[in-house]
Amino acid sequence: MRFRYLIFQGINVTFEKLALHPAILQAIVESGYTTPTPIQAQAIPQALAGHDLMASAQTGTGKTAAFVLPSLQRLSTPSAVSSRGPRVLVLTPTRELANQVTDAAAKYGRHMRFRIGSIVGGMPYPPQMRLLSQPLDILVATPGRLLDHMERGRVDYSRLEVLVLDEADRMLDMGFIHAVEKIAAATPKGRQTLLFSATLEGNVAKLAGRLLKNPKRIQIATAQERHENIEQRLHHVGGGEHKRELLAHLLSDSAMDKAIVFTATKRGADRLAKALHAQGHPATALHGDMNQNQRNRAVHGLRTGHVRLLVATDVAARGLDVSGITHVINYDMPKSPEDYVHRIGRTGRAGAKGIAISFAGPEDRGQLRDIERYTRQGIPVHVIAGLEPKAVSGKPQAQDRPRRAEHHGHPRHEARRHNGSGNKPAHRGFAKHPEREETRGRPAARDRGRGHIRRGRTDGPWLG
């Protein structure tokens, strides 16, 4: 595969220079955007020129518009094929991301006339079947459920022009590789493929090698260059009780307006949310065992400020775009460095400052080392007077290399750095991902949500 690297160098690009259709430009202006983000400045011209793309970009960089705007531009001219299937297919790893992409397309395409629908796991089949039987321009889908419908002959790809793989690394982590490949194989060979991923290495590179044709490679920033406006802090913890005390202390900070507290398990999220709620904090859980309505309610609560603390598993780490999150707390450390970067990226968005606080016990040394290597940054250790980590019997609490510590109150301990020796590598469990949302069988009875279809404005300038 031949790559061309396009490293962003502050090129002076404006939306006007991108030669987008006036109806799209109008929606951009109404969205309040004045300048394209780096990923938009690079990806949009390449995508408009018809190239395949592999772009490294995380949520928060404006990557959704980077593929939605050129896709909408395509819809401004009629399809050469007269059939009803989607002209643009966006695959996303989670329902939340699918919803956000759908919302973004509706927003940027508000002055256009087109039909968009989403097909995601955990939702009832009949509305989705109806959706697929109608004409559609953009389809946003999670791979497992879409494959289900395809295997029943319900999806028509005869006029598909663009395939977008959004958060491709995450889809692979969640075990969707075969579904993604089968879906891609069913689409026309002449399609344009746009791949967005936090990383472009390893399995993502292999997938790109199989699905993309002479892609332009766009690298916006390396992991360590991102999240400059997020202050990262590390608290060494000695166990569950210590974590609870530390959290209680942190929650007493009035600067903590809105926070996401990440736990390792769904049960952990439920338990902690209940405990916080019982203590009088506006807290709620968000995890993959909740049905779509419950999940929407939780995110809506955070958005509107009714919920101050969202206690979430990694399902919320990607895609979630809620403004004004002041703090991210890793109550349990994430399993992979990529998850860490995604989690902390929920705060410090759109130019705001954010604080990301991690609780790491002796068992987290391996993860911590991997995160620091991945981000090429040490996380400054913070110690709260009176809440210093106590040694846990038989387990190393103090660490081997001295590191900078930031003390609050009257520090009594010098915090040091873990060396991480003897630890297992970070877990990258694929098929058994704890937050895998898709079910290939019937949806759970509790999932009473509806299929999702949106229409652009009906008096817009184009399309029937």
Q: How many CA atoms lie within 13 A of 405 on its CB side?
A: 23
Give the count of beta carbons closer than 10 Å to the beta carbon of residue 102: 23
In the complex, least distance from residue 40 CB atom to ligand AMP, rounded to whole angstroms: 6
Which residue, 37 or 292, has its beta carbon nearer to ligand AMP?
Answer: 37
Compute the least distance from the CB of residue 46 to ligand AMP, in Å: 17
- Minimum CB distance to ligand AMP smaller for 220 or for 387: 220
Asked if residue 196 lies in contact with residue 167, where contact means CB atoms within 8 angstroms, the answer is yes
Residues that bind ligand AMP (CB under 6 A): 33, 36-37, 40, 59-65, 321, 350
Q: By C-beta, is 61 or 92 nearer to ligand AMP?
A: 61
Cβ proximity to ligand AMP: between 37 and 313 the closer is 37
d(C-alpha 419, C-alpha 396), whole Å: 11
Least spacing, CB of residue 422 vs ligand AMP, in Å: 38
Give dist(CA 238, CA 362) in Å, integer: 7
CA neighbor of 434 nearest in space, from 317, 319, 320: 317
CA angle 63–93–203, rounded 5-degree value:
85
Find the shortest distance in angstroms from Cβ 447 to ligand AMP: 25
Min dist CB 390 to ligand AMP, Å, is: 41
Helix (H) or strand (E) holding 178: helix 177-186
Tell me which DSSP letter residue 223 carries. Answer: G
| Residue 64 or 367 with smaller CB distance to ligand AMP | 64
Measured from the CB atom, is 68 or 276 closer to ligand AMP? Answer: 68
Say how far apart CA 302 and CA 170 lie, in whole Å: 24
The SS3 call for residue 11 is coil
Q: Determine how β-strand 283-286 pairs with β-strand 309-312.
A: parallel
CB of 100 to ligand AMP, least distance (A): 7
